Amino acid sequence: MMRTTGKIYRPALLLLLMTAALQAFARPYPDSLTREKIYQMALAADTITDSIDYLQYLVKERAAEALARKNTLQQEQLQQRIQDKKNTQLLTIGVISVAILLLVLILTRYYHFRNSRRQEQQLARGYAEISEKNAELKATDEFKNKLITIIANDFREPLLHITTVAKKLEQGGMGREEMLAEMEQIGVSSHKTLDVFDYVLRWIQLQLAGYTYTPVTCRLREMMNYLSDNLNYMAGDAAPRVVDRIPDDTTVLADTEMLQFVLRQILLAANRHGLPGSLVIADAWPDDTRVRITVALDAGDQARDVAESLFAWQRDTAALGLAVSKDFAVRMKGDILVEVSGNRYITLTLLLPASG
Residue 344 has pLDDT above 50, yes or no: yes
Indicate the angle between helix axes 156-171 and 176-207, nearest 10 degrees. Answer: 150
Residue 350 CA to residue 295 CA, distance in Å, equals 8
DSSP string of 220-266, one letter each residue: HHHHHHHHHHHHHHHS-TTSPEEEE---TT-EEEE-HHHHHHHHHHH
Name the CATH superfamily, with its identifier, for domain 216-353: Histidine kinase-like ATPase, C-terminal domain (3.30.565.10)
Going across the sheet that includes 279-286, the strands are 241-244, 279-286, 290-298, 345-353, 335-341
Model's pTM, two decimal places?
Answer: 0.53
Q: Tell me which residue of 138, 171, 291, 150 sits closest to 282, measured CA to CA.
A: 291
Average pLDDT over residues 206-212: 65
Rounded Cα–Cα distance for residues 21 and 49 (Å): 11
How far from 125 is each of 26, 138, 276, CA to CA, in Å? 109, 19, 54
* Range name among 22-26, 61-65, 87-91, 297-301 with the lowest pLDDT average: 22-26
Is the pLDDT at 291 greater than 50? The verdict is yes
Q: 55-90 pLDDT, tens per residue?
A: 676 778 788 888 888 888 888 889 999 999 999 999
248-261 pLDDT, tens per residue?
A: 888 999 988 888 88
Spatial contact of 270 and 316, defined as CB atoms under 8 Å apart: no
At 292, the amino acid letter reads: R
Classify 214 in phi/psi space as left (phi over 0), alpha (psi -120 to 50) or beta: beta
Distant-in-sequence contacts of 148-151, Cβ < 8 A, 24+ apart: 149/313, 149/314, 149/317, 149/320, 150/196, 150/200, 150/320
Can you point out the beta strands (E) in the chain?
216-219, 241-244, 251-254, 279-286, 290-298, 335-341, 345-353
